[in-house]
Chains A and B, each alone.
Chain A
Amino acid sequence: LAKTTQPISMDSYEGQEVNITCSHNNIATNDYITWYQQFPSQGPRFIIQGYKTKVTNEVASLFIPADRKSSTLSLPRVSLSDTAVYYCLVGENAGNMLTFGGGTRLMVKP
């Protein structure tokens, strides 16, 4: 499984756009990039998944450059309720195994 590297923590303010970048230099051809969100005392929750270029849903956007060695999760206009830990994971869909790293702890301030 490809190893991922992401910042340990980030601070932001309400209403700002937040971009969290994840490095995955050893990503394999069949690997997808998936992001999860975890609030305190809760299980992780799927946010978004992509393979290349850009994916957007009602919660976030995911930008993946052509070499796929990194990806950026973009959260538009964050609110206090977006304070959470965000995990970047890389793996094959068929395998369904995920390796969670330490994640990025996002703190949104008023």
Chain B
Amino acid sequence: DAEITQSPRHKITETGRQVTLACHQTWNHNNMFWYRQDLGHGLRLIHYSYGVHDTNKGEVSDGYSVSRSNTEDLPLTLESAASSQTSVYFCASSFSVNEQFFGPGTRLTVL
């Protein structure tokens, strides 16, 4: 069955380190998204992509980057992790009509 996966599911890192979170989908969706969700709050859009080699900034993109070299993957990189980036990160993909399919999430702790 088609699915969307994220790895790692849990990550602890130190301030200043570079961290990459993986997102892989097998639906062949053109659209992929990264969100962060802080405890007790809704999701905020970090970056999104409408296709290979396309990337766009969301509302909270500072300190994050993405690259889209193929349809299936959209890795999220934290260039220099900060404690304020401690959060749960969700990846999503969609074909159209606002029906996004979300991954299981990655819980990132920056010490």
Binding site for B on A (CB under 8 A): 32, 34, 41-46, 49, 87, 89, 91, 93-94, 96-103
Chain B interface size, under 10 / 10 to 19 / 20 to 34 / 35 or more = 20 to 34
A46/B43 in contact, CB under 8 A = no
| Interchain CA distance A103-B37 in the complex, whole Å | 12
Which residues of chain B come closer than 8 Å to A89, judged between CB atoms?
98
Task: Pick from B98, B101, B105: contact of A32, CB below 8 A.
Answer: B98
Bound Cα distance from A99 to B96, whole angstroms: 16
Q: How far is the CA of A93 from the CA of B95 in the complex (A)?
A: 10
Interface string of B10-47 (1 = CB under 8 A from A): 00000000000000000000010001000001111100
Q: Establish whether residues B99 and A46, one from each chain, have CB atoms under 8 Å apart when the complex forms.
A: yes
Contacts of A32 in B (CB 8 A): 97-98
The answer to whether A45 and B44 touch across the interface, beta carbons within 8 angstroms, is: no
Chain A residues within 8 Å of B92, by CB: 43
Enumerate chain B residues within 8 angstroms of A103, measured Cβ to Cβ: 42
8 Å CB contact of A96 from B41, B43, B44, B94 = B94
Q: How far is the CA of A98 from the CA of B97 in the complex (A)?
A: 11
The residue in chain B whose Cβ has the minimal distance to the Cβ of A103 is: B42
**Are A49 and B41 also in contact (CB < 8 A) when A42-B105, A43-B104, A43-B105 are?**
no
B50 within 8 A of A: yes
Q: Which chain A residues lie closer than 8 Å to B94 at the CB level?
A: 96
Determine if B35 and A49 form an interchain contact, defined as CB atoms under 8 angstroms apart.
no
Nearest CB of B to A98, in Å: 6
Q: 22 A-B Cβ contacts within 8 A?
A: A32-B97, A32-B98, A34-B98, A42-B104, A43-B92, A43-B102, A43-B103, A43-B104, A44-B43, A44-B90, A46-B99, A93-B97, A94-B96, A96-B50, A96-B94, A96-B100, A97-B48, A98-B45, A98-B98, A100-B35, A100-B42, A103-B42
Q: Which residue on A lies nearest to B35, using beta carbons?
A: A100
